[in-house]
Amino acid sequence: MASAQSQEDQVLEEETSFVRILTLNRPRQLNALSAQMISRLLELFQRYETDSNVKLLILKGKGRAFCAGGDVAAVVRGINEGAKFFSKEFILNYLMATYTKPQVSILNGIVMGGGAGVSIHGRFRVATENSVCNTALFLVIKVFAMPETALGLFPDIGASYFLSRLPGFFGEYVGLTGARLDGAEMRACGLATHFVPSSRLALLEEALYKVNSSDPAVISAVIDKFSLEPYLKDHSAYHWMDVIDKCFSRRTVEEILSALESESTNRADAWISDAIQSLKKASPTSLKISLRSIREGRLQGVGQCLIREYRMVCHVMMGEVSKDFFEGCRAILLDKDKNPKWKPSKLELVNDNMVDQYFSKINDDRWEDIKLPARSNLPATAIAKL
């Protein structure tokens, strides 16, 4: 359990010359982010930024996952604990997104939810091929996903910023359906900056250990030596970007679903039927606030996205409009009956006024908008990651 491990045990720290290697170390929990892990990462990133001896950060996970998201079991125990958890997590995401030194994330295994937050905002994201190598130092990336709508939440951790900046309307597709992407798809859409075969990962890390520079061009050149352009599988949805753009560019979730159902009558592609089923199983409220969040993210900076998403998270936890988040956690994570009872139960029962409430300032003295740390005089490389 998280409480049984110290912060130091949950995030392992290694030093080599001018490089710091941080390893997420909760393998039994698929490295799900605990409050202790978030506090530790925040402490280390703040310290490294002012340390002239640190030129490069490497972040990876122990075991078969990079990070399977935030530890929501801790969040559902109480609103106040949950608010503190999300607040620190979002501040960490903002620090990473505006960091002045390069961060290389080795995405060796499952990357979901909060795991995307501590990697996608960093400068370099290294994915690998979708195969298993039991004797290798790293396991390969099997799945990237933003499964929040199936939990009654929404893609947070700044996801409305990076999903909205993927090609076309691929971000809406990933964010609403929780579609699982492999390493090749991550590279193709830009979630990963590099694709390195698993057989070369140990050599890549060895080369990175010798780096004595914070210049992104230098780091990229090192990774490029071990990289290749991966092969997209024949069944990848990314081959049908024209259909994704046609359907997921629609104004409402109802129109998106209708467009997908219309496409399914003309073609028998598995990704379309999977998308339809995912949308029908997800929380109707979550789908509607997620779509609006991603659309607003297209016109906002990462800080603005995180501030808005934190406000949305607070409304979700307060449960004024819907308690779907707690019901989703019960059905998927706690009781595991996988049969959540969403309220409202249908898309047409979630009106615009209900959606608007999630984006409004909370009129309660106990709640405040998140205050992100001041970040001034940042180089262009610190704010242009995608």
**pLDDT for 134-177, tens place per residue?**
122 223 344 688 889 999 999 999 999 999 999 999 999 999 99
How far is residue 69's CA from residue 115's CA, in Å, rounded to a whole number? 5
Specify whether the CB–CB gap between 52 and 105 falls below 8 A. no
The catalytic residue among 70, 115, 122, 183 is 70
Q: What is the pairing mode between strands 19-24 and 11-16?
A: antiparallel
Of 71, 89, 129, 148, the catalytic one is 148
Q: Which long-range CB contacts under 8 A does 230-233 form with residues at least 24 apart?
A: 230/127, 230/129, 230/183, 230/184, 230/187, 230/188, 230/195, 231/184, 232/184, 232/185, 232/188, 233/130, 233/182, 233/184
What are the two backbone dihedrals, phi and then psi, of residue 327, each rounded to the nearest 5 degrees? -70, -40
Among candidate residues 61, 82, 113, 114, the one labeled active-site is 114
Q: Which of 156, 172, 182, 324 is catalytic?
A: 156
Rounded to 5 degrees, what angle do the CA atoms 66, 109, 61 make?
A: 25
Answer yes or no: is pLDDT of 386 > 70: no
Predicted pLDDT of residue 280: 97
pLDDT band at 130 (very low <50, low <70, confident <90, very high): very low
> Do residues 315 and 83 make contact, with C-beta atoms less than 8 angstroms apart?
no
* 70 a catalytic residue: yes
Active site residue 156: yes
Residue type, 141: I
Judged against a pLDDT cut of 50, whether residue 118 lies above it is answered with yes
What is the predicted pLDDT for the residue at 375?
86
Instruction: Count Cα neighbours of 30 within 13 Å in the Cβ-side half-sphere.
Output: 17
Q: Report the distance separating Cα 345 and Cα 288, nearest Å.
A: 13
Band of pLDDT at residue 1, cut at 50, 70 and 90: very low
Nearest alpha carbon to residue 379 among 98, 35, 26 = 98
Other C-beta atoms closer than 10 Å to the C-beta of 280 total 12
To which residue do tokens 């698929």 refer? 30
The whole-number pLDDT of residue 196 equals: 94
**In the chain, count of helices (H) and strands (E)?**
17, 9
Q: What is the mean pLDDT of residues 63-73?
A: 85
Q: Residue 148 catalytic?
A: yes
Catalytic: 82? no
Q: Encoding tokens for residue 195?
A: 């694709």
Q: Is residue 126 scored above 70 in pLDDT?
A: yes
Q: Read off the pTM.
A: 0.92
d(Cα 82, Cα 95) in Å, to the nearest integer?
20
- Distance from the first to the final alpha carbon of the chain: 35
